[in-house]
Amino acid sequence: MLTYDALIPAMRQALVDYSAGLVDQPPRAILRPGQSGQGPGNSWFAVMPVVAGDTMAVKTVTFYPDNALLDPALGLHTHMATIELLSRATGQPLALMDGRLITEMRTAAVSAVALDALACPEASSLGILGSGVQARSHIQALRLVRPNLNDMRIWSRNPANAQKLASESGARAVMIEEAASADVVLTVTGSPTPVLEGRWLAPHALVLAVGASGATLRELDDEAMLSSYVVAESRSCVERESGDVLLSGATVQAEIGEFLSSSLAVPRKRRIVFKSVGMAIEDLTAARLVWLAHKAHQ
């Protein structure tokens, strides 16, 4: 029911609406379950409510990184989520759906919107740092908006995973320095400390910084952040939740919605970092598309 062809333009409009003040979205509430045998900061449980347009939604999402170490036969993902969609007019629950795939796809769709808006028209190379679920979803979404990104380079801390993804997607598994020197660099690792160094980046690079969602986590070093024009999906969310911004002391200079609405002109001939942390309006937008598509097929 959910396709990138429908999701990417819907996400573009949602980001415009957010920056225009048309979305009621409080900060997400984050709790630390701290189960026995785990550190208190090892896992988290978040609640994300939002009201926009004719619907309301709330996503509950958990992140348990130690699930990756369990028996694969259990089928437990590190991220799990549920989204409830409700009528704004009556408060009636409309749908309850799994949120894991929606989270994967809406995250990649937001990056695709940013790529289309911010990358140089002549960009032809894409470096990906990471080889997991988000790397795969991003390859699908980014290729839709920029099919001319035909030089794709993949690096992972696990070389076998990088080679596997490269073989599946027609890319090359490379050293991190070569991936980081591409026109567009995507960071989708699970690293809590910087893996991308600014000295490797091209002067005109666009960095799509997706991983390291948390105030104490970061994927980009100080040079990468402080030498770049920083764009956020939400200034308040990124300034509150992104370790890449908080720990480097970088300043968020604009929201992506301001460029999409033509309120601001994209700065050319300089390095840009687009930092996303995920927002409830993105989940609502994707869930509403699923609900409408489901109704149309009934």
Structure confidence at residue 35 (pLDDT)? 55
Confidence of residue 195 (pLDDT cuts 50, 70, 90): very high
**Can you tell me the mean pLDDT for 193-217?**
94
Structure confidence at residue 78 (pLDDT)? 83
> What is the tens place of the pLDDT at every residue in 46-92?
999 999 999 999 999 998 878 878 888 888 888 899 999 999 999 99
pTM metric for this prediction: 0.94
Please, what's the b/e burial string for 208-237 (b: 16 or more CB within 10 A of its CB; e: otherwise)?
Answer: bbbbbbbbebbbbbbbbbeebbbbbbbbeb
> What is the tens place of the pLDDT at every residue in 96-116?
999 999 999 999 999 999 999
CB neighbours of 231 closer than 8 A, spacing ≥ 6?
114, 118, 252, 253, 254, 255, 256, 259, 272, 273, 274, 275
Structure confidence at residue 9 (pLDDT)? 98
- In the chain, the percentage of residues whose pLDDT exceeds 90 is 84
Say which amino acid occupies 282: E
Q: Cα(85)–Cα(91) distance, rounded to whole angstroms?
A: 10
Structure confidence at residue 40 (pLDDT)? 44
Structure confidence at residue 218 (pLDDT)? 94
Q: Let me know: does 192 contact 215? Beta carbons within 8 Å.
A: no
For the chain, domains (ranges, CATH) are 4-102+281-296 (3.30.1780.10), 120-278 (3.40.50.720)
Strand partners, 206: 184, 272
Q: CA-CA distances (angstroms) from residue 124 to 61, 137, 150, 170, 224?
A: 35, 19, 6, 14, 21
